[in-house]
């Protein structure tokens, strides 16, 4: 039985139906989130605790996670998994260290010095989904680049379970990544606490990390008061495959995205109908074996597709139109095709680089642009945790050499005070307005 819809297209313009990846539904949560944010701003911890009781079903003794709890979490996860976290963290650290940048100074004009300073943000908030799920990879991918950038304080929020406890894997990852403070809160109320500050939770300069539609909406609403990383949508993978691809690998890679969320999307683009048939059959075969098969089945049925086209080059053209979050090149000599890729969050080359490798271990960041935004945005990086400031110094002779040109420029724009602010410096004891 066929598991997936098929689209036959001869050129990239034929895939318009794939460019809208909202799963056919969006919850209108703006009013609810706006009310929560206003309440947190007005009442602080009291409001946060009230929403924690209502939405998470728990009433913690303390919002902040203690160092003792983190110590116990490390014991609970065991040395084996702790070592995996350390090794993954080391890979992530080594990759992101290459992204560090320095300021610069230019002194090529006599009497003039100009330049740029690069400074870390002072305090960053990290949202980590929790409660019924545990994503220690999210902790590593968000916290490690921030620390490499030099951020002195990382504040993490994550919802607790009904018993008030945070998943030990999340706490262990936070210790390894260098998180400074952890609070057992989630949802829009946690975003509000980070944005406005409460009696317990300090106000931050930027909020990063994924979450559900309420979290994403809250981040969008507080943007401007604080910075945010991105508004992340449902996860997606696009696999370009030729006859060299293994259909079992391709099918399972598609399902690995589909099990994320019923709104997730998995695309196979190929010129081989035989491969398409084999992958379709394997998706149907593997689907019932998954613990999250109900979620994967909805994602495959509603949002995913196999696209048949004429060549790998046309498949790449289709991919560039879609601008996927994850792109797998399961083709012969994949590095030869990499220069043709214009728009993708992260590219996985060959039959032995599954998307899960990037999710957990390889080193590049797994926080990626979704919903076609790879056309103009980039993966989370060290750059997301810095700010830049310029500086200018001119001595009197340097300014005098160019002051007439500045005055002419200002007058052309009709800004007399701008012109006068330069002219007054060369008008002697008096000032000729």
End-to-end, the C-alpha distance of the chain in Å comes to 85
Instruction: Locate 302 and state its tokens.
Output: 């509603």
Dihedral sign, CA of 126, 127, 132, 135? Answer: negative
Place of tokens 């947190």: 40
Q: Which of 169, 236, 259, 325 is catalytic?
A: 325
Contact 4, 280 (CB under 8 A): yes
**Distance in angstroms (rounded) separating the CA atoms of residues 160 and 32:** 21
Q: Reduce the DSSP state of residue 349 to 3 states and report it.
A: strand
Instruction: Locate 13 and state its tokens.
Output: 């313009």
Longest CA pairwise span in the chain (Å): 92
Phi, psi (5° rounding) for residue 193? Answer: -60, -40
The answer to whether residue 366 is catalytic is no
Q: At what angle do helices 168-177 and 67-97 cross, to 10 degrees?
A: 50
DSSP character at residue 240: E
Bridge-based pairing of strands 326-330 and 5-8 is: unpaired
The answer to whether residue 79 is catalytic is no
Q: Which of 96, 260, 326, 366 is catalytic?
A: 326
Instruction: Write the CA distances from 215 to 110, 212, 279, 318, 424, integer angstroms.
Output: 52, 5, 35, 31, 53
**Distance in angstroms (rounded) separating the CA atoms of residues 319 and 322:** 5
Cβ-based neighbours of 422, under 8 Å, separated by 6 or more: 399, 403, 406, 407, 410
Q: Reduce the DSSP state of residue 208 to 3 states and report it.
A: strand
Residues with a known catalytic role: 325-326
């Amino acid at each position: 039985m066929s598991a997936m819809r098929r689209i036959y297209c001869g050129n990239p313009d034929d895939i318009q139906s794939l460019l809208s990846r909202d799963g056919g539904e969006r919850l209108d949560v703006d009013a609810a989130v706006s009310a929560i944010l206003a309440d947190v701003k007005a009442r602080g911890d009291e409001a946060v605790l009230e929403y924690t009781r209502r939405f998470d079903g728990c009433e913690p003794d303390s919002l902040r996670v203690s160092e003792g709890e983190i110590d116990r979490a490390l014991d609970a996860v065991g040395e084996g998994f702790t070592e995996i976290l350390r090794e993954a963290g080391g890979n992530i650290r080594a990759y992101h260290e290459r992204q560090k940048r320095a300021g610069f100074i230019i002194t090529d004009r006599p009497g003039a010095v100009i330049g740029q300073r690069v400074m870390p943000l002072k305090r960053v908030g990290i949202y980590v989904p929790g409660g019924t799920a545990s994503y220690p990879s999210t902790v590593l991918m968000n916290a490690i680049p921030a620390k490499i950038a030099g951020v002195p304080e990382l504040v993490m929020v994550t919802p607790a379970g009904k018993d008030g406890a945070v998943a030990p894997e999340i706490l262990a990852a936070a210790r390894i990544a260098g998180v400074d403070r952890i609070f057992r809160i989630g949802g829009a109320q946690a975003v509000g606490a980070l944005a406005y500050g409460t009696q317990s939770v300090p106000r931050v300069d930027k909020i990063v990390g994924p979450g559900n539609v309420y979290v994403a909406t809250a981040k969008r609403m507080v943007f401007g008061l604080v910075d945010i990383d991105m508004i992340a949508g449902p996860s997606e993978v696009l696999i370009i495959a030729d006859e060299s691809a293994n259909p079992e690998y391709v099918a399972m890679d598609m399902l690995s995205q589909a099990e994320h969320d019923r709104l997730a999307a998995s695309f196979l683009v190929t010129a081989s109908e035989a491969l398409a048939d084999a992958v379709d059959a394997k998706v149907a075969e593997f689907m019932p074996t998954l613990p999250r098969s109900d979620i994967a089945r909805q994602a495959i049925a509603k949002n995913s597709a196999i696209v048949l086209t004429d060549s790998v080059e046309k498949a790449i053209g289709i991919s560039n139109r879609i601008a996927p979050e994850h792109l797998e090149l399961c083709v012969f000599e994949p590095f030869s095709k990499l220069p043709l890729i214009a728009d993708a969050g992260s590219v996985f080359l060959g039959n032995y680089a599954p998307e899960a490798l990037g999710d957990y271990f390889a080193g590049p960041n797994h926080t990626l642009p979704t919903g076609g935004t790879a056309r103009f945005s980039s993966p989370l990086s060290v750059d997301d945790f810095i700010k830049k400031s310029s500086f200018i110094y001119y001595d009197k002779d340097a300014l005098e050499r160019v002051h007439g040109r500045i005055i002419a420029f200002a007058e052309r724009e009709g800004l007399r005070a701008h012109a006068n602010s330069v002219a007054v410096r060369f008008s002697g004891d008096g000032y000729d307005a």
